[in-house]
Amino acid sequence: MQILLVSIQKPIITYMKILARVIDTITQQKKRHPNMQFHLNGFHPGDPRFSDPQDAVVPPPVKRPLPQEVDVLIVGCGPAGLNLAAQLAQFGTISVAIVDQKDDRLLVGQADGIACRTVEMFQAYGFADQIIQEAYQVNEAAFWKPDADKPNLITRSSKVQDVADDLSEMPHLIINQARVHDEFLKVMRQSPIKLEPHYQRKLLGLEVDPDGSTEYPVTVKLERMVNFSQYTQEIETVKAKYVVGCDGARSSVRTSIGKELVGDALNQAWGVMDVLLNTDFPDIRLKSLIHSNNEGNMLIIPREGGYMVRIYIELDKLKEGERVARDQMTSEVLVAAANRILQPYTIDVKEVAWWSVYEIGQRITTAFDDSTPDRAARVFLAGDACHTHSPKAGQGLNTSVMDTWNLGWKLAHVLTGLASEEILQTYSAERREYGQALIDFDREFSRMFSSKPKSAENPDGVDPAEFQRYFQLFGEYTAGVSIQYRPSIMVGKGDNQHLATGLTLGKRFHSAPVVRLADAKPMQLGHCHTANGAYRVYAFAGKTTPFSDDCDVKALCDYLAESANSPLKLYTPEGADADSVIDLRAVFQQHHHQVNTADVPEVLAPRKGKYGLRDQEKVFCADNRPASSGGGKNIYDMRGINREKGCIVIVRPDQYVADVLPLDDYAGLSAFFKQVLVSA
17 pLDDT more than 80: no
Distance of CA 73 to the CA centre of its chain: 22
What is the percent of the chain where pLDDT is above 90?
A: 68
CA-to-CA distance for 263 and 257, rounded, in angstroms? 19
Catalytic residue among 45, 79, 105, 112: 112
Task: Judge whether 481 and 166 are in contact, CB under 8 Å.
Answer: no
Rounded to 5°, angle at Cα 540 from 536 and 542: 160
Q: For residue 348, report the phi and psi dihedrals to the nearest 5 degrees.
A: -115, 100
In this structure, the number of other CB atoms found within 10 A of the CB of residue 654 comes to: 25
158 pLDDT more than 70: yes
In this structure, the number of other CB atoms found within 10 A of the CB of residue 41 comes to: 10
Residue 440 DSSP label: H
- 396 closest CA partner among 85, 101, 188, 177: 177
Q: Where are the domains of the chain?
A: 1-30, 497-676
Catalytic residue among 105, 179, 201, 303: 303
Q: Which helix (H) or strand (E) holds 561?
A: helix 552-562
Q: pLDDT (tens digit, 9 = 90+) per residue, 526-576?
A: 999 999 999 999 999 999 999 999 999 999 999 999 999 999 999 999 999
Q: Is residue 112 flagged as an active site residue?
A: yes
Q: Which CA distances in Å does 612 have to 92, 581, 616?
A: 20, 17, 12
Q: What is the pLDDT of residue 405?
A: 98
Task: Judge whether 143 and 299 are in contact, CB under 8 Å.
Answer: no
Q: Mean pLDDT of all residues in the chain?
A: 88
Mean pLDDT of 301-316: 91
Q: Is residue 611 flagged as an active site residue?
A: no
Mean pLDDT of 370-394: 85
Higher-pLDDT residue of 108 and 126 is 126
397 pLDDT more than 80: yes
Q: pLDDT (tens digit, 9 = 90+) per residue, 222-245?
A: 999 875 555 567 899 999 999 999
468 pLDDT more than 80: no
Q: pLDDT (tens digit, 9 = 90+) per residue, 409-445?
A: 999 999 999 999 999 999 999 998 888 877 777 777 7
Q: Which long-range contacts (CB under 8 A, 24 or more apart) does 560-565 make?
A: 560/584, 560/603, 561/601, 561/602, 561/603, 563/666, 565/666, 565/670
CA-to-CA distance for 671 and 650, rounded, in angstroms? 12
Q: What is the 3-state secondary structure (H, E, C) of 53-118?
A: HHHHCCCCCCCCCCCCEEEEEEECCCHHHHHHHHHHHHHCCCCEEEECCCCCCCCCCCCCEECHHH
- 38 closest CA partner among 306, 406, 394, 301: 306
What is the percent of the chain where pLDDT is above 70?
A: 89
Say which CATH topology domain 497-676 has: Glutaredoxin (3.40.30)
Q: pLDDT (tens digit, 9 = 90+) per residue, 320-360?
A: 454 556 667 899 999 999 999 999 999 999 999 999 887 76
Q: pLDDT (tens digit, 9 = 90+) per residue, 61-103?
A: 778 899 999 999 999 999 999 999 999 999 999 999 999 999 9
CA-to-CA distance for 654 and 506, rounded, in angstroms? 11
Task: Judge whether 94 and 32 are in contact, CB under 8 Å.
Answer: no
Question: pLDDT-derived band of residue 30, with 50, 70 and 90 as boundaries?
Answer: very low
Q: What is the pTM of this model?
A: 0.89
Q: Specify the 3-state DSSP secondary structure of 428.
A: helix
Q: Write the CB contacts of 229 (distance below 8 Å, at least 6 apart in sequence).
A: none
Q: Is residue 403 flagged as an active site residue?
A: no
Q: What is the pLDDT of residue 324?
A: 56
What are the helix (H) ranges across 451-500? 464-473, 475-479
By CB atoms closer than 10 A (0-12, 13-18, 19+), residue 538 is buried
Q: What is the pLDDT of residue 208?
A: 95
307 pLDDT more than 60: yes
The dihedral through the CA atoms of 109, 115, 121, 122 has a sign that is positive
User: Where would I find the beta strands (DSSP E) of 500-604?
Assistant: 513-516, 521-524, 535-540, 582-588
The dihedral through the CA atoms of 36, 41, 44, 49 has a sign that is negative
Catalytic residue among 199, 242, 312, 434: 312
Mean pLDDT of 640-665: 98
Which of 316-330, 486-500, 645-659 is least confident? Answer: 316-330
Q: What pairing do the DSSP bridges indicate for beta strands 234-245 and 379-381?
A: parallel
Task: Judge whether 362 and 442 are in contact, CB under 8 Å.
Answer: yes
For helices 425-450 and 396-415, angle between their N-to-C axes, nearest 10 degrees = 180
Residue 627 DSSP label: G
Catalytic residue among 171, 197, 217, 391: 391
Rounded to 5°, angle at Cα 642 from 641 and 648: 70
Higher-pLDDT residue of 3 and 356 is 356
Q: Is residue 485 flagged as an active site residue?
A: no
Q: What is the pLDDT of residue 6?
A: 42
For helices 464-473 and 425-450, angle between their N-to-C axes, nearest 10 degrees = 160
Question: pLDDT-derived band of residue 26, with 50, 70 and 90 as boundaries?
Answer: very low
Q: Is cis: bond before 217, omega within 30 of 0?
A: no
